[in-house]
Amino acid sequence: MRSSIPQTAIVIGSGIVGAAIAYFLTRRGIRVQLLEASAPAAEATGAADGAVSVASKRPGPMMVAAIAGVALYRELEHEGLFAGLFKSRSTFIVATSDEECAVLEAHADALEQAGVRIERLTGGALFEVLPALSPSTRLAVQVHGEGHAIGYQIVHRLLTAAGIVVDRHTPVNALLRDANGRALGVETHKGQIKADVVVIAAGTGSATLLGLADILIPRKGQLLVTERAPRLNAAFAGSIMSGRYLMSKGNRKPGAPTPARGLGLVIDPLVTGQFLIGGTREDHGDRRTNDIGAVSQILADAVALVPQLVHVRLLRSFAGNRTAVLDGLPLIGRVPGLDNAFVATGFEGDGICLGPIVGRTVAELVCGEAPSIDLVPFDPARFKSGMVAA
């Protein structure tokens, strides 16, 4: 590991991950130039559901990272950096059928074993806590200590706090490197920019820079926002997640084909009194449009869980592409073959939850310190063959 702290860094991408990396590097006194192809939070971060949550994670490295991610939100809120932006709330995973109850019970055990505080709610207690739920609900697992944050607000706060002026509309064409395995900087239409360190957090745009086109996949998600409905919103002790989400999240039998469009329902009560309702995970087509088929399906599932939603009006639909990695784990770490270049991308639907913790961890890595979360499972070197082309 390098022991000296670099003086300058280029960060490519100002989604939540890039913004967090830039923030933590700046805090260490490193001069950061943040390059952005369009504008901050313009891609996945601006079209995210905002869950800061462990609830749907399966045991393994992502669950460990998510637990650290949630804890950091709490810490930064306490510190004041995220004041007013992190809504602390529980997640309630609900089951309405035998099959869902069985999956949910097993999942609840796994969360408990990982040290997550949960509670099982049934019968009268369930409807006392969640009076808006459909009477057909059988079981709810309350996952304590979670929260919600809006991606673009977090980005704005991080950039404001660090005093960073983003180079908007400045796409990076290529990395500059020398013959000794060091990155020198980047090539943009404004010319070459040099720095001691280069960090790539460019979502799907990272693929071309690193030669990872086959490994990074755009995955579309459609989401909905309602008008303000303060009274119904107040009846929500937290977000409601359909137990079916667990099945769509990977509790499927190994080898079973992934459906082209998965639907995992989450109804999140926002601080504004609105509801955020999502969402799909779609592998076909990267058009950023909403279709009535998906929207009415999401809403039908939402109404099945919370019947009073029929009285609420839909205000907006939106869609965005998240960057997924072939094996389902993000890429975080040193770019293989380059001593002073790093990558952090491929968070799919977990970027909001993990963005700040990844930012802090990458900053540690850049400064030659031991990372505070275990990055071994996320090491980009596992796709080394792809990086050779870079």
Partner 1 sequence: MSVNRFIWQGREISFRPGESIAAALEAAGIVRLGLDALGRETRYFCGIGACQSCLVRVDGTACEACLTPARSGMTVTPLEDRS
Partner 2 sequence: MSEPDIIIVGAGPGGLAAAIAASRTGLKVEVIEQRHAPGGAIYRQPVDGVEPVPQAAAAKRRWQSLSTRFAESGVPVRTHSVFLGIDGDGTFLIDDRDRGKLDRLQPRGVIIATGAVEKVYPRPGWHLAGVSTVGGLQVMMKETGRAPQGRILLAGGGPLLIAVAAQMARLGNPPVAIVEAGDPAKELAAGLQILISPGLFAEAFSYLRTVYRHGVPWLRGHRLVSIKREGQDLAAVIEDRKGSRRRILADRIGLHDGIRPNDFGMPPETTVNRAAPFVIHAGDCREALGAVAAEADGERAGRMMAGLLAHGRHEINELEELVARNRRSQAVLARIFAPVQSGSLLDGLTDETILCRCEGRTVGDLRQLCSRPDPLTGREIKHNGRFAMGACQGRFCAANTAALMARLRPDIPAPAPGDLIGRRWPARPVSIGTLVGVPPHAEGQDEVLR
The listed partner (partner 1, partner 2, none) that binds 273, CB under 5 to 8 Å by sort, is partner 1
Site size for partner 1 (CB under 8 A): 10
> In the complex with partner 2, which residue's Cβ is closer, 163 or 257?
163
Q: Please pick, from the candidates 61, 211, 250, 307, the single residue that binds partner 2 as defined by CB under 8 A.
A: 307
DSSP letter assigned to residue 170: -
The listed partner (partner 2, partner 1, none) that binds 230, CB under 5 to 8 Å by sort, is partner 1
Applying CB under 8 A, which part among 22-30, 176-184, 312-320, 379-387 lies near partner 2? 312-320
| Residue 352 binds to partner 2 (criterion: CB under 8 A) | no
| Residue 165 binds to partner 2 (criterion: CB under 8 A) | yes
Residues 6+ apart with CB under 8 A from 135: 127
* Cα–Cα dist 331/312, whole Å: 40
Contact 229, 219 (CB under 8 A): no
Selection from 384, 265, 348 nearest residue 62 by Cα: 348
| Residue 227 binds to partner 1 (criterion: CB under 8 A) | yes
| Residue 315 binds to partner 2 (criterion: CB under 8 A) | yes
Beta strands in 39-138 (DSSP E): 51-52, 87-95, 118-121
Q: Please pick, from the candidates 8, 208, 251, 308, the single residue that binds partner 2 as defined by CB under 8 A.
A: 308
| Residue 96 binds to partner 2 (criterion: CB under 8 A) | no
CB of 102 to partner 2, least distance (A): 26
Residues 6+ apart with CB under 8 A from 132: 232, 235, 236, 306, 308
Q: Please pick, from the candidates 58, 120, 144, 228, the single residue that binds partner 1 as defined by CB under 8 A.
A: 228
| Residue 125 binds to partner 2 (criterion: CB under 8 A) | no
Contact 71, 165 (CB under 8 A): no
* Cα–Cα dist 331/216, whole Å: 9
Q: Please pick, from the candidates 9, 54, 159, 331, the single residue that binds partner 2 as defined by CB under 8 A.
A: 159
Residues 6+ apart with CB under 8 A from 167: 33, 34, 35, 36
Cβ atoms within 10 Å of 181's Cβ, excluding its own: 13
Selection from 380, 290, 370 nearest residue 337 by Cα: 380
| Residue 307 binds to partner 1 (criterion: CB under 8 A) | no
Applying CB under 8 A, which part among 71-79, 185-193, 227-235, 294-302 lies near partner 1? 227-235
* Cα–Cα dist 66/63, whole Å: 5
CB of 146 to partner 1, least distance (A): 25
The listed partner (partner 2, partner 1, none) that binds 291, CB under 5 to 8 Å by sort, is partner 2
Q: Please pick, from the candidates 7, 258, 296, 385, the single residue that binds partner 2 as defined by CB under 8 A.
A: 296
User: Where do we find the tokens 């449009």?
Assistant: 289
Structure-token pair, residue 312:
């609420």
Residue numbers at the binding site for partner 2 (CB under 8 A): 39-42, 46, 135, 152-153, 156, 159-160, 163-166, 168, 226-227, 287, 289-293, 295-296, 299-300, 302-303, 307-319
